[in-house]
Amino acid sequence: MTQNPTALHDLSLTELASQLRNRQVSAVEAAQHFLARTKAHPTLGAYVALNEDATLAQAQAADARIAAGTAGPLAGVPIAHKDIFVTKEFPSTAGSKMLAGYQSPFDATVVSKLAEAGAVTLGKLNCDEFAMGSANENSAIAPLGFDAPAPVRNPWDTSRIPGGSSGASAVAVAARLVAATTGTDTGGSIRQPAALTGIAGIKPTYGRVSRWGVVAFASSLDQAGVFARSVDDCALFLQTIAGHDEKDSTSANVAVPDWTAIVDAGVKGMRIGIPKEYRIKGLRAEVEASWEQGIKWLREAGAEIVDITLPHTQYALPAYYILAPAECSSNLARYDGVRYGHRAANPENLLDMYERTRAEGFGQEVKARIMVGTYVLSAGYYDAYYIKAQKLRRLIYNDFVNAFEHCDAILTPATPSAAFAIGEKTDDPVEMYLEDVFTVSANIAGVPGMSVPAGLSPDGLPLGLQILGKHWDEASVFKVARAIELAANFTAKPEGI
């Protein structure tokens, strides 16, 4: 009998993988442990679907592979997916009534890559409808244990939001319901919830991870990535899902490094850029203090701190809120009642079916964005809005290219504040959109970005720091994130879970 004083849910992804490989615990035991823990904590509203038979069958197969010596790097490790990755064994809803109960005939590439690596899928995690939101209050799907849709709750204070749109992916990891989860990030949906729940999350370079089987929001910005409690775990998890996929022509044929081998290389001699434009008006004192602390930590770890400029930063948010709706209005045209999901009952004719299907199937935020997107793409307004936003996109991209001539990575706050109360920003979309002020630029430029826990606010809520890197240089992002992780020594956990 092996001595194992640490509960399975307190282990990191890396530790869990090693215990499974060494047969200190079986994949079936691990799956049962996490399923039981998930069912014991329904109030957070994180999961929208379980399929215990499928999970246990995957775990048995993993145990067989471990016994046969053919196990992949994540053999038997329980993980869970944002419900925007389509899965054969679980329904796939993207948080929308439009897709409620939708059963995909295939797995997303990310899902099949993790299955090949031996990971065991516990279930699907709630998200804002079609990944539109910053608070995970916009899902139309009832979480497990609920009769109606409900906001996902932050385990640090359940009256607060966890961030969005991959809020539940962050909550499940922060509450130790699972060691690592997948997410997507179009304007900050991995980095912002990671920051607000005290965990690590990375959006890699645009094109690094296949989006085959990821329900599309804004295709020139959408990128898949991961959440875990440590930088190491993010490196291990991301390298399992990264790489070219011939089914996604936007996934690039760029070699995937062994990031786990370089995470600990240190930051000595690295140049870290501090962009002056991120000192926005009204920056909260605790956010500024945490940024200053991060700068100090990196300097003490041997990095050189350099002032840089990203002069078009103020245009990133307005450009994003034109480009993302424009692309969503086009992507979401496919939900017409014919091909997928919801169809209005007893239509009088084709037009009536289209109109009522879309009126019934989409939630308010999605409708608002489709309307804004259709407007900015319409003849007469195209040049004034869409083309102008595309031009800004090029300028923002150039800002990063120029800045990276002077530094190897950039350090900024991840969010303008700690987690806010459920409902606090629901009635004011602009306030909600301002949540993304530090994160959208990375999507616009396509560069990798990561959020790492930096400490607690005076209210005892987690704050994160964001590291941005050059295209394809997740390695530097991981190194800097690891240096902050070591210095921050963030061991706090949400209470009562």
**Which residues are part of the catalytic machinery?**
82, 165, 189
Instruction: Supply the minimum distance, in Å, between the C-beta of residue 134 and ligand GLN.
Output: 4
Query: Which C-beta is closer to ligand GLN: that of 286 or that of 436?
Result: 436
* CA dihedral sign of residues 374, 84, 115, 468: positive
Of 59, 86, 122, 131, the one binding ligand GLN (CB under 6 A) is: 131
Three-state SS at 130: helix
Instruction: Supply the minimum distance, in Å, between the C-beta of residue 139 and ligand GLN.
Output: 13
Contact yes or no for 308/342 (Cβ under 8 A)? no
Of 133, 275, 373, 453, the one binding ligand GLN (CB under 6 A) is: 133
Contact yes or no for 27/20 (Cβ under 8 A)? yes
Instruction: Supply the minimum distance, in Å, between the C-beta of residue 203 and ligand GLN.
Output: 8
Residue with the closest Cβ to ligand GLN? 189
Candidates 132, 214, 117; CA nearest to 166 is 132
Stretch 144-203 residues interacting with ligand GLN (CB under 6 A): 165, 185-189
Three-state SS at 139: coil
Distance, first Cα to last Cα, the chain: 27
Contact yes or no for 128/164 (Cβ under 8 A)? yes
Contact yes or no for 200/452 (Cβ under 8 A)? yes
Instruction: Supply the minimum distance, in Å, between the C-beta of residue 223 and ligand GLN.
Output: 9
* Residue 466 found at the interface with ligand GLN (CB under 6 A): no
From the list 73-81, 90-98, 130-138, 467-475, the region that binds ligand GLN by CB under 6 A is 130-138
Give the position of tokens 């005076």.
Answer: 458
Of 152, 324, 468, 483, the one binding ligand GLN (CB under 6 A) is: 324
Contact pattern for ligand GLN over residues 292 through 311, marking x by CB under 6 A: --------------------
Of 132, 199, 403, 409, the one binding ligand GLN (CB under 6 A) is: 132
Stretch 207-266 residues interacting with ligand GLN (CB under 6 A): 217
Query: Which C-beta is closer to ligand GLN: that of 178 or that of 194?
Result: 194
Concatenated DSSP letters of 411-466: EEESSSSSPPBTTTTTT-HHHHHGGGTTTHHHHHHT--EEEEEEEE-TTS-EEEEE
Instruction: Supply the minimum distance, in Å, between the C-beta of residue 429 and ligand GLN.
Output: 9
C-alpha 134/C-alpha 226 separation (Å) is 17
Instruction: Supply the minimum distance, in Å, between the C-beta of residue 319 and ligand GLN.
Output: 12
Query: Which C-beta is closer to ligand GLN: that of 260 or that of 415?
Result: 415
C-alpha 94/C-alpha 223 separation (Å) is 15
- Number of residues interacting with ligand GLN: please give it, by CB under 6 A: 13
Q: Letter for the amino acid at 402?
A: N
Q: What are phi and psi of 190, to 5 degrees?
A: -100, -50
DSSP letter, residue 209 = B
Q: Where are the beta strands (DSSP E) in 137-252?
A: 180-185, 200-203, 223-228
Interaction site with ligand GLN (CB under 6 A):
131-134, 165, 185-189, 217, 324, 436
